Amino acid sequence: MPNFFGGGVEMLYRIPALILAITLHEAAHAFMAYRLGDSTAKDQGRLSLNPLKHLDPLGTLALLIFRFGWAKPVPVNPMYFRGDRRRGMFLVGLAGPATNFILAFVSMFLLSTSPLFRDGHLGGIIVQLYWYNVLLGIFNLLPLPPLDGSKVFAYFLPRQTAYKLSQLDQYGPLILILLIFTGALSTILGPLFNVAHNVISTLVSLLTGF
């Protein structure tokens, strides 16, 4: 994986890229929940593209400095969902990472089709936007609470099994922290990052003919 955390002028590129990636990720959760009938996030102002509604100042700073951070959790109440609540939680969980992958695809498409998006400060921001969105997409799909992947993964399990695993949700953050500080998370994310990057690159190549 590339190094997102070097010094110099790249910090000026990373900050807007990170803010945009996180904001759209969280807004996608709120939008999907609202479409399914749950207005909880909307009522709390989270159905918004205003970064201030989604960014946790300490979590964002920690991500820039320590490579681990967080945003404000989007409140979701599946009791308000229309139809299957398990399917609803699956769709809400998937919405954030899916948005990141779509943004990554659009970023690479722009980088591949026009010098305007490759050169100068705009190009620097779009490059960082691409990498951050790939990273956030795969990271959030890990099947560990409180990450989105835990909700996506649970949908494919028998209800009884999913319920039993949900009893272990309280240990998810601890496991995640251990993976981060032991370096095991990088070992897990590295191959997944490469797969996602290769898939997006192939799709863009097929679309653009490059």
Task: Report the catalytic residues.
Answer: 26
Measuring CA to CA, how many Å separate 51 from each of 22, 32, 68?
A: 8, 18, 19
For residues 4 and 131, what is the distance between their CA atoms, to the nearest angstrom? 8
For residues 153 and 133, what is the distance between their CA atoms, to the nearest angstrom? 20
If we measure between CA atoms, which residue out of 34, 157, 149, 173 comes closest to residue 97? 149
C-alpha torsion angle, residues 53, 93, 98, 196 (rounded to 10)? 120
User: Per the structure block, which two tokens stand in for 62?
Assistant: 């920690």
If we measure between CA atoms, which residue out of 37, 100, 106, 41 comes closest to residue 76? 41
C-alpha torsion angle, residues 186, 105, 122, 59 (rounded to 10)? -40
Residue found under tokens 């898939």: 199
